[in-house]
Amino acid sequence: MQVNLKHLGKRYNYEWIFRNLTYTFESGTSYAVLGHNGSGKSTLLTIVAGHNLASEGELIYTAAGKTVAADEAYRHLSLTAPYLELVEEFTLLEMLDFHTRFKPLRHNLTNLQLIDRMGLERSKYKSVKDFSSGMKQRLKLGLAIYSDSSMLVLDEPTTNLDHEGVAWYQEHVNLNKQDRLIIVGSNIEHEYNFCDQQLRISDYHAVPKK
């Protein structure tokens, strides 16, 4: 999967979050989108993931040498972010059964094998609403990392994780980054220290006219 951004810009009302962003995200490479809180990292990631629209410019997806329509890009990517919600009425097993109807798992993993990899074996019949915040985040990450997608978008991936959870994230994202485009939005080094390239969103902030 390749994503080309051409003179991309986003504004809310009259305020430009970023502007004139031209960049290429290449398959097989991991990228860190860096910037302070409120700088536009999450906004850019939501646009790349198809959850938001740019105000100007062009975004082109390519897979296996063929252009992918913007409304079909979701089939090629998986995303996790603090603002995405789980279906809390489901048990863990029901959540995975629901998710894998739309996104099969990598490496022909079964749902029970993924539960084992997430370290949530004792909670497979437990309702997601009764999970701790750290368990919910590990579930979000497990679903994203282990979905059979060529592009992985991770926004603030270690939110609510303790040291053990951070180590789990680092281990499993490294195990699953080969031949994938990975984009991480973060300002915390342990979330993106495996990345090959860095894009600083502040380099594309619009300068107010005097």
Please report the pLDDT score of residue 85 as a whole number.
Answer: 93
CB distance 182 to 210 below 8 Å: no
pLDDT digits (tens, 9 = 90+) for 68-89: 999 999 999 999 999 899 999 9
Q: How far is CA 48 from CA 14, 72, 207, in A?
A: 22, 12, 23
State residue 98's pLDDT score: 97
pLDDT, residue 210, reads 40
Residues 6+ apart with CB under 8 A from 143: 78, 80, 95, 96, 99, 103
pLDDT surpasses 90 at 206:
no
Query: How many residues are given for the chain?
Result: 210
Give the residue extent of every domain in the chain: 2-204
Residue 135 contacts residue 120 (beta carbons within 8 Å): yes
How does pLDDT run across 140-159, given as a tens digit for each residue? 999 999 999 999 999 999 99
CATH number of 2-204: 3.40.50.300
Distance of alpha carbon 145 from alpha carbon 89, whole angstroms: 23
| Backbone phi, psi, residue 174, to 5° | -65, -35
Asked if 3 and 157 count as a contact pair (C-beta separation under 8 A), the reply is no
Q: Give 207's pLDDT tier (boundaries 50, 70, 90).
A: low
